[in-house]
Amino acid sequence: MPSQQDDDGTEIGKKLADERGLRIRFSMQTSQAVDIIKGGDKVNSLLETVSTVVNYRIAPHDSLDIVKSKVARLLEPIARKHNVKVEYFGRESGAERRDEGSDNQAATSPFGTLYPNSLNDLSPSPIAPTDIQNPVWHIFSGTIRQVFQDTKRLEGKKVIPVGVIMQGNTDTIQYWDMTKNIYRFSPVREGTRFGTHVIDERIDMTAHLEGMRFYYGEFWTFRSSRVL
């Protein structure tokens, strides 16, 4: 059996992420998606340039620098194999292939250049506090419990709000300097929202009314508290 211990937890983290499946895996690790590839403009002409856009959603334990370094390590051997020069984020790399038949091992002229660059750099969001000692979370989670424990479907059951990681990124960066208490929350029970981001997106009317109750209760609770 392989060892379950390593210096930085990397191997254990990989094993856990793989076992959880795709629905959970990318809430535990940085994701990579090649979303856009553009090349030539007609069928009887070889393309002069190719561009690719890759989307990364960076896990809280990673950083922009870690992702950029990983990209550089992956591209380096490919560039050497195909005799392509690489300029990583504005910095030139000596990835040209060496001519093994030459006595002086001079670098042959590269066949082209890769220009990895980053657009819209955004570090992972700060982790908002979800402990009961935090007064904002105390009120916020308390309202969730009060509203949803009073629904017919959850009557007699205990609702326990917990913090989770959300893969989708919103505009919360605009509030990072204002407060640490940033919670992305939609007051919709599982199975009551349909067709997210499609033409026929809709929500169950009962769930819609529950959401109205939540917002009403949240506004009045914070208004009457001394937290804000």
At 4 the pLDDT is 40
Assigned token pair, 58 = 């960076």
Confidence of residue 211 (pLDDT cuts 50, 70, 90): very high
Q: Are residues 15 and 44 in the same domain?
A: yes
DSSP string, 36-78: EEE--SSTTS--S--EEEEEEE--TT--HHHHHHHHHHHHHHH
Query: Structural domain tally of the chain?
Result: 2
The answer to whether residue 150 sits within a structural domain is yes
Give percent of the chain with pLDDT exceeding 90: 42
The answer to whether residue 127 sits within a structural domain is no
Q: Which amino acid is at 119?
A: L
Mean pLDDT confidence for 194-208: 90
Average pLDDT taken over every residue of the chain = 83
Mean pLDDT confidence for 32-36: 93
The answer to whether residue 23 sits within a structural domain is yes
Q: Are residues 16 and 86 in the same domain?
A: yes
Q: Are residues 161 and 69 in the same domain?
A: no
CATH of the domain at 61: 3.30.70
How many Cα atoms within 13 Å fall on the side-chain side of residue 108? 16
At 27 the pLDDT is 79
At 3 the pLDDT is 38
Q: In the predicted model, is pLDDT for residue 105 greater than 70? A: no
How many angstroms separate the Cα of 15 from the Cα of each of 8, 28, 66, 164? Answer: 14, 11, 20, 20
Rounded to the nearest 10 degrees, how much is the dihedral formed by the CA atoms of 23, 24, 28, 30?
Answer: -10
Q: In the predicted model, is pLDDT for residue 6 greater than 70? A: no
Residue 127 to residue 56: CA distance in whole angstroms:
18
Strand 112-114 and strand 84-88: the pairing is: parallel
Question: In terms of residue numbers, what domain contains 172?
Answer: 135-224
Strand 84-88 and strand 91-93: the pairing is: antiparallel
At 69 the pLDDT is 92
The answer to whether residue 186 sits within a structural domain is yes
Confidence of residue 102 (pLDDT cuts 50, 70, 90): very low
At 103 the pLDDT is 45
The answer to whether residue 187 sits within a structural domain is yes
Q: Are residues 27 and 77 in the same domain?
A: yes
The better pLDDT of the pair 87, 26 is held by 87
CATH of the domain at 195: 1.10.150
Rounded to the nearest 10 degrees, how much is the dihedral formed by the CA atoms of 81, 85, 89, 90?
Answer: 170
Q: In the predicted model, is pLDDT for residue 66 greater than 90? A: yes
Residue 130 to residue 140: CA distance in whole angstroms:
10
The answer to whether residue 205 sits within a structural domain is yes
Residue 188 to residue 148: CA distance in whole angstroms:
10
The answer to whether residue 97 sits within a structural domain is yes
Mean pLDDT confidence for 112-141: 91
Q: Are residues 147 and 103 in the same domain?
A: no
Q: At what angle do helices 135-148 and 205-224 cross, to 10 degrees?
A: 140
Q: Are residues 205 and 161 in the same domain?
A: yes
Over residues 170-194, the pLDDT tens digits come to: 678 888 999 999 998 889 888 898 9
Mean pLDDT confidence for 139-167: 87
Instruction: Decide: 24 and 13 in contact? Cβ < 8 Å.
Output: no
How many angstroms separate the Cα of 103 from the Cα of each of 81, 83, 100, 179, 196? Answer: 20, 18, 8, 63, 63
Mean pLDDT confidence for 56-80: 91
Could you tell me the strand order of the sheet in which 91-93 lies? 91-93, 84-88, 112-114
- Between vectors from CA 189 to CA 184 and to CA 191, what angle results, nearest 5°? 120
Over residues 156-167, the pLDDT tens digits come to: 889 999 988 877
Please, what sign has the CA dihedral across residues 185, 189, 192, 196? positive
The better pLDDT of the pair 204, 167 is held by 204
The better pLDDT of the pair 221, 108 is held by 221
At 163 the pLDDT is 87
Q: Are residues 110 and 27 in the same domain?
A: yes
